[in-house]
């Protein structure tokens, strides 16, 4: 503040010396009346400038208000930046949580898929075993049926052979009996 006052006083002295130098004096000597008028004008202008710089209502107040407004804007911007950083941190945390959750869901889905595949495999093995058992049972039943049929055919063939043998035997016996009866009838015995 003191340097401003010295700056203004310096400006006033330079302005006064410029006025004096520009007047150059008249033929009677130094123009005191003109110099006094210029000096009064300079004091009025200087006073207005000093009042504007140092008064609470003038430029000083505007500068202070401007500085305060800038400070408020800086504080508000810092607060907004802080909020944005907090929001970014929150969103990053949420994103990380979502990624972890998606990995967990993927792992659970893979486990479920493995269980389903294992269940299908077990069911297929059981079905294959049942098919094999059914085929073995069917084969045994078919074999028994074939055995029974072969046995029946053997029995039938044996019966046919026996019947032939019996018929042949009966025929021979009958022939022998017939011959024996004739011989008896003929008296030859």
pLDDT, tens digit, 9 for 90 and up, residues 88-124: 999 999 999 999 999 999 999 999 999 999 999 999 9
Residue 3 has pLDDT above 90, yes or no: no
Question: What was the pLDDT predicted at 47?
Answer: 73
The mean pLDDT value for 58-63 works out to: 64
Question: What was the pLDDT predicted at 94?
Answer: 94
42 and 16 in contact (C-beta within 8 Å)?
A: yes
- Using alpha carbons, list the distances in angstroms from residue 81 to 68, 71, 95: 20, 15, 20
Nearest to 15 by CA among 51, 52, 41: 41
Question: What was the pLDDT predicted at 185?
Answer: 73
- The pTM score is 0.38
Least confident of 12-21, 138-147, 179-188: 12-21
Q: What pLDDT band is residue 188 in, cutting at 50, 70 and 90?
A: low
Distance CA 141, CA 137 (A): 6
What is the pLDDT of the chain when averaged over all its residues?
Answer: 79
152 and 145 in contact (C-beta within 8 Å)?
A: no
The mean pLDDT value for 72-84 works out to: 94
Helix axes 2-23, 32-54, angle to 10 degrees: 160
Q: What pLDDT band is residue 5 in, cutting at 50, 70 and 90?
A: low
| pLDDT tens, residue by residue, 118-172 | 999 999 999 999 999 999 999 999 999 999 999 888 888 888 887 787 777 767 6
Question: What was the pLDDT predicted at 187?
Answer: 67
Query: What's the full length of the chain, in residues?
Result: 189
Q: What pLDDT band is residue 4 in, cutting at 50, 70 and 90?
A: low
Residue 189 has pLDDT above 60, yes or no: no
State how far Cα 97 lies from the chain centre: 10
Question: What was the pLDDT predicted at 136?
Answer: 92
SS (H, E, C) the chain: CHHHHHHHHHHHHHHHHHHHHHHCCECCECCHHHHHHHHHHHHHHHHHHHHHHHCCCCHHHHHHHHHHHHHHHHHHHHHHHHHHHHHHHHHHHHHHHHHHHHHHHHHHHHHHHHHHHHHHHHHHHHHHHHHHHHHHHHHHHHHHHHHHHHHHHHHHHHHHHHHHHHHHHHHHHHHHHHHHHHHHHHCCC
């Amino acid at each position: 503040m003191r340097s401003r006052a010295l700056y203004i006083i310096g400006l006033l002295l330079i302005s006064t010396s410029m006025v004096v130098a520009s007047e150059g004096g008249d033929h009677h000597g130094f123009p005191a009346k003109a110099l006094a008028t210029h000096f009064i004008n300079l004091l009025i202008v200087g006073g207005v400038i000093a009042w504007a710089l140092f008064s609470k209502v003038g430029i000083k107040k505007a500068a202070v208000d401007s500085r305060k407004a800038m400070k408020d804007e800086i504080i508000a911007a810092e607060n907004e930046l802080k909020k944005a950083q907090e929001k970014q941190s929150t969103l990053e945390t949420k994103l990380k949580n979502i990624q972890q959750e998606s990995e967990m869901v993927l792992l659970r889905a893979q486990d479920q898929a493995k269980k389903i595949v294992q269940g299908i495999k077990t069911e297929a093995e059981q079905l294959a075993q049942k098919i094999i058992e059914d085929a073995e049972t069917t084969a045994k039943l078919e074999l028994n049926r074939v055995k029974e049929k072969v046995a029946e055919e053997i029995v039938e063939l044996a019966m046919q052979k026996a019947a032939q043998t019996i018929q042949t035997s009966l025929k021979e016996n009958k022939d022998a009996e017939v011959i024996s009866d004739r011989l008896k009838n003929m008296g030859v015995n």
